[in-house]
Structure 1
Amino acid sequence: MQIVDHVEQTDAAGSPSPRAADWFWRPWYAKLYWVTALLYWIGLEIMIAIPYDRINTFVANTMVLLILVFNPITVLTVLGHGFLKAKVACGDWTMVGSAAPSQPKSLIDPYTDSFDLRSGLRHLRHIGAIKD
């Protein structure tokens, strides 16, 4: 029995669509990141069981700061960056620029909109703002 690891091509003309496992599990840096994250969380659980008077404060503070580095969301963000770039490069996804936000014209009354010149001082809603 022979185990073959391959990526199936979905489109013969284009490049194959990348799989998430190729970016999250297979590279050496991904394996290193997952192992160190696992060891960190095991070490944090062990450190919680130590009484407060016996904890080295430098180690405790370092472990607290490393929560940002080994947070699962951070791990997925760092490892998923290459995956997203590969998905865009093969044409599965497209990058869409953000448009300037616009206000819906049908919902805004021009006489109460502070940015419309027709509103005058009506949008201010109190008598102290009107100056003669």
Structure 2
Amino acid sequence: MTLWRAGMRITAGRLNDHAVEASTSSGLTAGAGFTVIGFSGRKVSGVTTVHCYLSYDGTGLNPDGSGNLADVTMCTLPSGWRPPETINTTFGDGVQDGECTISPSGTVSLRSVFSNIETGRNIRATAVWISGNS
């Protein structure tokens, strides 16, 4: 990765340096009622992307009348793969989708969904954030 220094000239090579700085596929911890199927994280040019793929094995996620789930913990991201502030993103199971948050402690909490998520559904959440200016 190119570090910009005073006096450096802008070149196509420097502008297009999008080498992967770090990647991982391990360390995701499932919340109660979930099982990790897969996880990936990548850092490129100061941008972090995480993709969480879990199976829901609980008794059913049933939202209240307004679609709220009371912040169900789906998983926790590994250290070094957490956002600097709480961010909102979406999740889906192929049929249902909704909103989730990711906190600086790495907790991924499902917050709302359009209707019930039944046992055995596979849930995916992907998030992207600016992680640094290196």
TM-score, normalization by structure 2: 0.21
Tell me which protein shows more helix as a share of its residues.
1
> Normalized per residue, which structure has more strand?
2
Larger radius of gyration: 1
Higher relative contact order (CA 8 A, sep 6+): 2
TM-score by length of 1: 0.21
